Amino acid sequence: MYTTLLVTIEEEICNITVNRPDKMNALNREVFNDLDAVMDEVYHNSAIRSAIITGAGSKAFVAGADISEFLELNGEQAIALAKRGQVVFDKIENAPKPVVAAVNGFALGGGCELALACHFIYASENAKFGQPEVNLGLIPGYGGTQRLAQVAGRSRTMELLMTGKMISAKEAMQCGIVNEVTTPEELIPKVKETLKLIHTKAPFAVTKVIECVNMFDHTQDGYDFEIKQFAECFQTEDMREGAAAFLEKRKPSFKGR
């Protein structure tokens, strides 16, 4: 049923694994379609009480949006791409049941944004977080400028977005991005342990927690503004250069136009 996800339901937990390990689980159109569909299942299947999102393999959770889809896009298509990403990530954020990110390697760009859209994040000690879009002449477009600032604060977010640098799981925990750091083997068991604890609570109250906490610091303006600025970056020569340089495995040469 899903072409880019592995999905199982065990003990009322829906285990969702982004499954493109040869491409570091990068988010292409199919992954977004599959995530959209699986969230429908999480919302409506009464056999599911919570969900875990993780990445296939040991190297990556998700290493970002699929950069190979970028070069063909114009400004309008970039707006559509960012809107699509935001709609799917909003669906995760507003799910009526807990959705936890189990970050097991690189969570970069759209991967970090995907983790941030989940209700909370556990990470294995080999996880790395970052928003490296600036290396491509870009900014986050799937809500990252807003959600990262909500959890990590303004100045930390400024630094991470401007430098594009990666931080370790421990640093991400110090920033408030990650709740708990485990060994790689313990990651999924620990998330399941917490979800099973939540399963013992009143489901209606859990849903209301999600709804209320999501009201915190959430104005739609910032998200809409992000989409426009993301698309403006797409109209620059530097963005074409940045994406081409990544795909050609060379350093970009930015010209400021």
Residues that bind ligand COA (CB under 6 A): 23-24, 26, 63-68, 106, 108-110, 132-133, 135-136
Between 95 and 160, whose beta carbon lies closer to ligand COA?
160
Residue 33: CB minimum distance to ligand COA, A: 17
Between 65 and 206, whose beta carbon lies closer to ligand COA?
65
Residue 54 · residue 100 · CB < 8 Å = no
**Percent helix, strand and coil across the chain, each rounded to 5?**
50, 15, 35
User: Which residues lie below 8 Å from residue 32, measured CB to CB, with a gap of 6+?
Assistant: 84, 85, 88
Between 29 and 201, whose beta carbon lies closer to ligand COA?
29
143 φ, ψ to 5°?
95, 0
Between 32 and 106, whose beta carbon lies closer to ligand COA?
106
Between 162 and 213, whose beta carbon lies closer to ligand COA?
162
Residue 51: CB minimum distance to ligand COA, A: 23
Element (H, E) at 212: helix 203-213
Between 78 and 99, whose beta carbon lies closer to ligand COA?
78
Residue 61 · residue 110 · CB < 8 Å = no
Residue 161: CB minimum distance to ligand COA, A: 12
Residue 163: CB minimum distance to ligand COA, A: 13
Residue 257: CB minimum distance to ligand COA, A: 20
Tokens of 206: 């859990």
Point out the residues that are catalytic. Answer: 113, 133
Q: How many CB atoms lie within 10 A of CB 146?
A: 22
Q: How many CB atoms lie within 10 A of CB 13?
A: 22
Q: Which residue in 50, 158, 140, 148 sits closest to 95, CA to CA?
A: 50
Q: How far apart are CA 141 and CA 170, in angstroms?
A: 25
Residue 245: CB minimum distance to ligand COA, A: 11
What letters, b where the CB count within 10 A reaches 16 and e where it falls short, cover 53-91? bbbbbeebbbbbbbbeebeebeeeebbebbbbbbebbbb
